[in-house]
Structure formats: C-alpha cells, structure tokens
Amino acid sequence: MVYLTRVEHFNAAHRLHNPDWSAEQNDAVFGKCANANWHGHNFELFVTIKGQPDPQTGFIFDAKKLSAIVRERIVDKVDHRNLNLDVPFMQGKLCSIENFVIAIWKELEPALPAQVSLHCLKLIETPRIYVEYYGE
Amino acid sequence: MVYLTRVEHFNAAHRLHNPDWSAEQNDAVFGKCANANWHGHNFELFVTIKGQPDPQTGFIFDAKKLSAIVRERIVDKVDHRNLNLDVPFMQGKLCSIENFVIAIWKELEPALPAQVSLHCLKLIETPRIYVEYYGE
Amino acid sequence: MVYLTRVEHFNAAHRLHNPDWSAEQNDAVFGKCANANWHGHNFELFVTIKGQPDPQTGFIFDAKKLSAIVRERIVDKVDHRNLNLDVPFMQGKLCSIENFVIAIWKELEPALPAQVSLHCLKLIETPRIYVEYYGE
Amino acid sequence: MVYLTRVEHFNAAHRLHNPDWSAEQNDAVFGKCANANWHGHNFELFVTIKGQPDPQTGFIFDAKKLSAIVRERIVDKVDHRNLNLDVPFMQGKLCSIENFVIAIWKELEPALPAQVSLHCLKLIETPRIYVEYYGE
Amino acid sequence: MVYLTRVEHFNAAHRLHNPDWSAEQNDAVFGKCANANWHGHNFELFVTIKGQPDPQTGFIFDAKKLSAIVRERIVDKVDHRNLNLDVPFMQGKLCSIENFVIAIWKELEPALPAQVSLHCLKLIETPRIYVEYYGE
Amino acid sequence: MVYLTRVEHFNAAHRLHNPDWSAEQNDAVFGKCANANWHGHNFELFVTIKGQPDPQTGFIFDAKKLSAIVRERIVDKVDHRNLNLDVPFMQGKLCSIENFVIAIWKELEPALPAQVSLHCLKLIETPRIYVEYYGE
C-alpha cells in the first residue's frame, strides 16, 4: 500500500458567523474572524489517496488525473469565491476549516476511482493553522 | 550600510473592480478576481530598512520596534479586513497589489525614525505572485 | 474526528551532555553538539489536537486559545532560554529533542480542555531533523 | 516511542516507460513524463524511524549516523544519476515514485540497527506531488 | 515604478559537458554533474518586470498574461525535456544555469509588451543554488 | 554579468550584551535577547557572487568550490558554536546580526578568486528577521 499526495492551491474569502447569535456574541466568540465585510486566505489542499501500484504503470493512480478530479470537484467551486455565499456545498454550515474539510471530503470521496481510497485531506489556512481529516 | 528586513503576516479579502466600468467589462479584464462576493489571501509583507549599526547596540534599528511600527500602522488596519471596504488608506483606489504596496509605503515611511530609511517593501499575494516597491 | 494543528516558534540554546561521562566521552558521542559554550536553534513546535467540531462554532477548539495555552505553558518558558539551564521541566534530563518533546507533552497535555485530546507533537530542530511524539 | 525524521536531498533524471508498450501507448499513458530524452527532479527523502530514547544519550538513534546510512545506501547510488539506467535496485522496474519509494525501503530497512525500526519513507518529487510508504 | 514577479515551475534533465574535452577532463571539472546518462532538477523561474500601474486596472501588467507569455515562450519548451538535447535555444551552449538564464532572457524579453520592461530573472536549480540575471 | 547564490546552513548560540552597560540596561534595551545563559538560532547564509560565465565551463565560479570556501572560512568556525565566546572574528564586537554579517564579509571576501566579486551576503536569523550587506 502506497500513499500518494497531490497538493492544490486556491484562495477565497470567508467569515465565521453563527446566524443564531447576535453580532456582539459573534464578535465575542470569533473576534476579527467575524468581520462583517469578510476576510480571506490562500488555502493549500493536500489530497492523500492510497492503493497498490499498477504493474503496467507503476501508479496507484495518475497524479495528473487526481489533480483534474480535485480541480473539477473542489478548486473550480471555491477558488476566488466567498465560501459562505458562493459555494453550494457550504450552504447552511458554519464556515470553520473543520467544517470545510469535512465538506470537501464528502464532495471528493465519491469522485475517486475504485482502485484507490481517499486516506486524508489536509487543509492549510495560514502558515500557522491547518486541519486534517480521515473521513470519520 | 546594512539592510534589515522584518516580515509580517496578515490576511484579508479584496476584489479587483473599476467602478467606471460595467460588470461585463470588469469580468472581461479581471476575470474571477472581480467576483462580486470577494476573495482573499494570506499576505506576507517584507519591510526592508537600511542604516548604519549603532555602536552601542549593534542594531540599525531594533527589529522588535520595527515590528511594532508595522503592526500599528499597517497590520492592525488590514488584518482580517476587506481591503476595498474597511481600509481608509485604500479608499477610492483600485485594489491591485501594485496600488496596495504604494499605499502601504505612504503610511509606513513617515512613521520610521530618522536614523534609518525605508528601502523596499515586498508584498506576497500568492505563492506565485508578489510585488516590490522602492518608493519611486 | 478532525485534527487541528497550531504551529508555534521559539529559539533557544542547548547542548548535548551526559554528566556521568568525561568530556572526551561526551565529545566522542555527541561531537560538536557537546560544545561547552552551547549552540542553539530556531524550533518550530506543531501541536495537533483532535475532537468533534462544536455545532455552535464549527471549532473543535479555538486555535487562538490553543495558541495562548501553548505560549503560556511552553513558549514563554523556553523562548530565548538555555534549555539545559533555564527550563524547570528539563532539569536533570539529557537535552535531546527526543527527551524535550516528551517533556513538552507532559507540560501541555494536562492544560488542554476536556473536549479535545492531544494527538501529536512535532518538533523541528533543523531544516533536516525533527521528532514526533504521540504520548506513548 | 518517539519518531525521528532525517531529510536527505538528491537530484536525478528518469522517465516513465513501459517496455511492453509502443511509443504511442507510452505517450498516451505517461504524456510528457515518457519523453525519450528523460526529464528530472530535485527529490527530498524523509526517513522516519521509531524507538525508545536511550537513557545514556537521549537519542533513539544518532541523526548523524542515520544520515550516514541513508547516504551510503541510497543517496550515493541515486544522486546525479539516471534512475532508469544507473541505479541497480531500479533495474527492470517501472520508474514511478511509487515503485521507487518501495525499492528504497528494501535497500534501507536491512541497514538500520536493531534498536530502531523504519516507520515511514516520504519522497517528494515536485512541490505538488509526493508519496509515503510504511513497508506494507 | 513597481516590480511584479511571477514564479513558474518546470522540471528537466541536463548534464554539464564540454564537447571539446575528453570524458576524463569533463569528469575532473564537472564531477557527477557530467554523468553521461544525465541528471535533473525541479526548476523555479522568477520573472520580474517593472512599470507604472495603469490607472484603469491598477496593474503594471496582468500577472495571468505574464504567466501565459512565460509558459508559451519558456516553460512549454523546457518542461519535462532534456535541456541539452530537446531545447532549440540551448543548442551549442554549455548547459550551466548561468548560460541557461541568459538564454531564457533572450527568448522572453522580446515577447513582453512595451509598457513594461524585464528587470530580473531568478532561476533556482536546487534548494541551495540559484542564479540571477539583469540582462547585461 | 550573472549573479550566483549559494546557501549554507549553521546553528549557533549567542546573546546581545553591551559590556559597558549594567545588567538592567542590557535587559531594558535587548529584552530576552540579553539572557545571560544565551539563546540560539538556525542561521541560513546566502552568499551571492557576480561575474562572467567562463566559455569553457559555463560557470562564473563552480558552486561546489564556492561552498567549500564558505564552509572553510565561515561555517566551520561558527557552526554549533557560541558566537560571543568561540568565534575569533566576533571578539570584542556586539553580537547583532548586523555586526555579524559585516564580520562574515571581511572573512569571506579576501578568500574569493579574482574572476568573481562578492556581491551580497544575506543572513536569516529567524523566519521573520534577516539582514543583507553589500560591502559598504
């Protein structure tokens, strides 16, 4: 079993905001991340799949095809967008990176071919903060 | 003459938008950077000053004090903000990184002490795009 | 279960030295790392916690609060210090990064709130050497 | 149990090529990676071992000795070489990074001392593609 | 005057070889860089242009268009290629990074639009070696 | 004229301390950098030379030979040392990075061969602080 990771980049705006709370409560909990006019990040998404190398190609899966799937399913929907307003799969969700990485998993996992399985998503939000998710 | 660089980090939302143009014209020129709901970045700001080392301290200027000035004058005004809507010194300007780095220079240069001069600002917008400005 | 990592930076002096050995034996085993006048490093500490996102905040734990705990419990005690001489929780221990990361775990783990658990500490000593510890 | 990682660098030429296929079939599957005149990479190899810190040294294993083993067994055989033509342990294998990392494991694992075990190899091929292998 | 830098990535095989010398002489001067079966690198090319921001766009030049020019003129001709054998603009030249960066300048400079000028090319060959060229 | 940069790594202990001042004055000016028991850093030294490519080699100067000179003249004298106590060329100097980079220039410049000249030294002390020196 070999693990293959492909890294993709996108940038987006978002804010942390609980619609059930007052503005004061949002500010108290989320601080400047609750800014009504949004803020944003350069995100790096690490997609790790696992599988057996194919004897004909040496690949567990072609990294270029993996990139194409991640771009079609995720990057094209979030790059240069507002995660709270523009991204269908984040509607109705609190836009933390924890919830975002789980939502990305749900979008991406069904799109992968049968010979590999999605092992881990790592999502870097700032040079000092990132999350990882293993699907459960 | 020694050059000292201090790096500061912030993240912000912005969009590229010329108010004299139609939405179609903005889209044609700026593409997804014109997204009406904003996008954002992790910015890295490199502030380079030059001067002679002080015989008493070995410093051209204390890097901690330089950091405090950059934070007070720049980072506190732009971090987790919308550059188009929330930042007084960007009002009425097209929010490109070229215009942004020039505007930062104008805010920062008068705040530096007489014994050093501001040499260069480098502003990284994405891992593949940055600008530099030398004040003229 | 989502894993959240916060990265903190500090720099410190240390040396590798076994007090039960002669200077020659220390030199033979530890080489230039045994230098009597110390050497030092910029350390990067990656603190990874795991937990369930809170439905009210989307957080498994606020990364800013995690940073504050790591700074209070660890960074403030080791930054710009001599690990052998100045750090209470390293007293009587051979100051390798293996022993250091275990000692950091013991200081940090009890300070975390009940809703999360400490998953991994990663401590980078040089661009080419790092350790990881999972608590057992 | 502590995990210690040492990073080594090398650069090499290679190509992806299945000798059972026509040139057209190789081009169709491997694209520009099949270029008959080769291409190349700067590789970063992360070698992670695990073990208990020795009470006398604080080390699970001396990182300098680990580096020496990796250089002798791997780096000296692949650095500034053609992986397809010059490397004995890649002969007869399709030269993907998946097959390469498995072959490195087989070369390196028997050379490690009994007090540690090889935990993981991570091999970075480009800034956006890497593989990991845990020995099974 | 603002300086804008766009970074592009490619990887390629090459060797250092002076055809006027014997194999022994090539080995003596170039060492393992003369390997007859080639070696290779991941290259990073930093293209820095300078100009005045356009009042209508805030750009000195659209970074996406700059990227397209660099890809068409340079990256498409060198990526996954053998610099000695496959690249027309390196024919008959000793394939050092010094000669390579000068040759890239000659290919790229005429392709830039009149409103900007090419300021600097920086070409990273390994994490520890790079060259810069300013056109004269 | 081409500029060639070679990067070297070392780590060392130091402190900021003016012997003409009281401990209180040193603390007031240098803060935790004055810690009597030292602190330390991983330093990265970027050595940039300039010259014309030699028609026989394509080199302005062999990067391996440049590395050997920098290691012999600088790295071997400072790596795993105490800059204040162990380094002859820092004796009697306030150990700031400004003074350190000037002292490195004086050691290194006379050791370079006539066909190149030393253009710039860049010394990174932390991920957020570095100095550059051009010899005057």
C88 reaches F (C-beta below 8 A): no
Whole-number pLDDT of residue B67: 98
The answer to ipTM > 0.90 is: yes
| Continuous segment of H or E residues that includes residue C54 | none
d(CA E88, CA A110): 45
Using a CB-CB cut-off of 8 Å, the residues of chain D touching E80 are: 32-33, 35, 39
If pLDDT is split at 50, 70 and 90, which confidence band does F126 have?
Answer: very high
| Closest residue in chain B to residue E7, using alpha carbons only | B128
Q: What is the CATH number of the domain that holds F19?
A: 3.30.479.10
Predicted confidence band of residue B101 (pLDDT cuts 50, 70, 90): very high
Q: Catalytic site residue F80?
A: yes
Type of residue found at D62: D
The Cα D36–Cα E6 span in angstroms is 30
In the DSSP assignment, the letter for residue A54 is P
Are B35 and B84 in contact, with CB atoms under 8 Å apart?
no
Distance, in Å, from the CA atom of B113 to the CA atom of B100, rounded to the nearest integer, reads: 23
Q: What is the DSSP letter of E71?
A: I
F109 carries an active-site annotation? no
Taking every pair of C-alpha atoms in chain C, what is the biggest distance, in angstroms?
Answer: 61
Contacts of D133 in chain A (CB under 8 A): 2-3
Question: What residue type is A22 in one-letter code?
Answer: S
> Within chain D, which residues score under 50 in pLDDT?
none
Contacts of A31 in chain C (CB under 8 A): 64
Number of neighbours of residue D82 by Cβ within 10 angstroms:
24
Tokens describing residue F61: 């100067």
**pLDDT tens for the 136 residues of chain A, in order:** 999 999 999 999 999 999 999 999 999 999 999 999 999 999 999 999 999 999 999 999 999 999 999 999 999 999 999 999 999 999 999 999 999 999 999 999 999 999 999 999 999 999 999 999 999 9
Chains F and E: 3 or more CB pairs within 8 Å of each other:
yes
C9 has catalytic annotation: no
Nearest-Cα residue of chain A relative to residue B13:
A39
pLDDT of residue E39: 98
- F2 contacts E133? CB cut-off 8 A: yes
CB contact under 8 A, D53 and C131: no
Domain range for A35: 2-133
Of C12, C13, C127, the CB nearest to F9: C127
F95 touches chain B (CB under 8 A): yes
Q: Are C51 and C113 in contact (CB under 8 A)?
A: no
- D68 and C CB contact within 8 Å: no
* Amino acid (one-letter) located at F118: L
Which pLDDT band, with edges at 50, 70 and 90, does F86 fall under? very high
- The minimum CA-CA distance between D120 and chain E, rounded to whole Å, is 23
Angle (CA) A15-A17-A21 rounded to 5° is 165
Average pLDDT over residues C97-114: 98
Cβ of residue F8 closer than 8 Å to a chain C Cβ? no
Could you tell me the CA-to-CA distances from C105 to D76, E25, E130 in Å, in that order? 37, 56, 40
Integer Cα distance of C112 and F104 in angstroms: 45
Mark residue B68 as left, alpha or beta (left: phi above 0; alpha: psi -120 to 50; beta: remaining): alpha
Q: How far is E31 from chain F (nearest CA, A)?
A: 10
The C-alpha of D41 sits at a distance from chain A's nearest C-alpha, in angstroms, of 16
> What is the arithmetic mean of pLDDT over F114-122?
97
Pair A74, A97: CB distance under 8 Å: no
Q: B70 to each of B52, B76, B81, B105, F30, how far by Cα in Å? A: 20, 9, 16, 11, 19
> CB contact, 8 Å: A60 with chain D?
yes
β-pairing, A129-133 vs C2-14, is antiparallel
Q: How far apart are CA E14 and CA E36, in angstroms?
A: 10
Provide, rounded to the nearest whole percent, the portion of chain B with pLDDT above 90: 100
Facing residue for C102 by CB, picked from D2, D56, D67: D2
* E17 has a chain D CB within 8 A of its CB: no
Q: What is the pLDDT of residues E5-35, one digit of tens each?
A: 999 999 999 999 999 999 999 999 999 999 9
Q: pTM of the entire structure? A: 0.97
A57/D133 CB distance under 8 A: no
Distance from CA of D73 to the nearest CA of C (A): 18
Percentage with pLDDT > 90 across chain F: 100
